[in-house]
A and B are shown apart, each in its own frame.
Chain A
Amino acid sequence: GAVVSQHPSRVICKSGTSVKIECRSLDFQATTMFWYRQFPKQSLMLMATSNEGSKATYEQGVEKDKFLINHASLTLSTLTVTSAHPEDSSFYICSASKNTDTQYFGPGTRLTVL
């Protein structure tokens, strides 16, 4: 089956610093990758959709200057949370897709901003 990894799995940082999260499709080429965030006991909310080699499409209410997404290759997308604050603490999950019918989800990254 298709495997998607995320790194790191957990990160704790100080307020004001930037954090980069990687999402990799290990055994397939992902034309599209999606980034979600999940607050405790809540559902996943789509943040943005990224296609390889083009700019990400952000959902309404998501600040593109705060959440920088780069999809430089067919197997790697990165999400950088810039100038992180405690309210950015969340569980960030990526998914990767070959044809957008099926998304394969990563294991998630737990971000805690102190």
Chain B
Amino acid sequence: KQEVTQIPAALSVPEGENLVLNCSFTDSAIYNLQWFRQDPGKGLTSLLLIQSSQREQTSGRLNASLDKSSGRSTLYIAASQPGDSATYLCAVQDGSSNTGKLIFGQGTTLQVKP
């Protein structure tokens, strides 16, 4: 059974710092991996999607990497801003086919202090 773990559970950094969020998964047979952002009491916003054949994706100040063989992904946030404060969720879509079923980690709650 696929399990997704995110470390750390919470992180507080001063504005401007670069930071890395970690995600690990137990079964390397994934279809894709996504990073989401969730603001308190709100739904999810997709940040980056990495297909199983890809190594990384970039969007603005965000860069996500995927090492499928070791079951790891990282989300790198450059030059953090207070507006980046939110919970970041990692999710994998299991298996070799496109079922759409996502398995989520418990998230990393980020606070960026001005």
B: interface residue count bin: 20 to 34
B83 CB-CB contact with A under 8 Å: no
Q: Is the interface of A mostly helix, strand, loop or mixed?
A: strand
Q: Which of A32, A91, A106, A110 contacts B100 (CB 8 A)?
A: A32
A54 CB-CB contact with B under 8 Å: no
CB-defined contacts of B105 to chain A, threshold 8 Å? 43
B110 CB-CB contact with A under 8 Å: no
A50 to B100, CA, bound (A): 11
A67 CB-CB contact with B under 8 Å: no
CB-defined contacts of B113 to chain A, threshold 8 Å? none
Please tell me which stretch of B14-22, B44-52, B65-73 contacts chain A, meaning at least 4 of its Cβ atoms lie within 8 angstroms of it.
B44-52
What is the number of contacts between chain A and chain B, taking CB atoms within 8 Å?
56
B55 CB-CB contact with A under 8 Å: no
A46 touches B103 (CB 8 A): yes
- B residues 40-68 in Cβ contact with A at 8 Å: 41-46, 49
A43 touches B106 (CB 8 A): yes
CB-defined contacts of A93 to chain B, threshold 8 Å? 43-44
B104 CB-CB contact with A under 8 Å: yes
Chain A residue nearest to B98 (CB atoms) is A100
A43 touches B104 (CB 8 A): yes
- A residues 33-48 in Cβ contact with B at 8 Å: 34, 42-46
A93 to B102, CA, bound (A): 13
B→A interface (CB under 8 Å):
4, 32, 36, 41-46, 49, 89, 91, 98-107
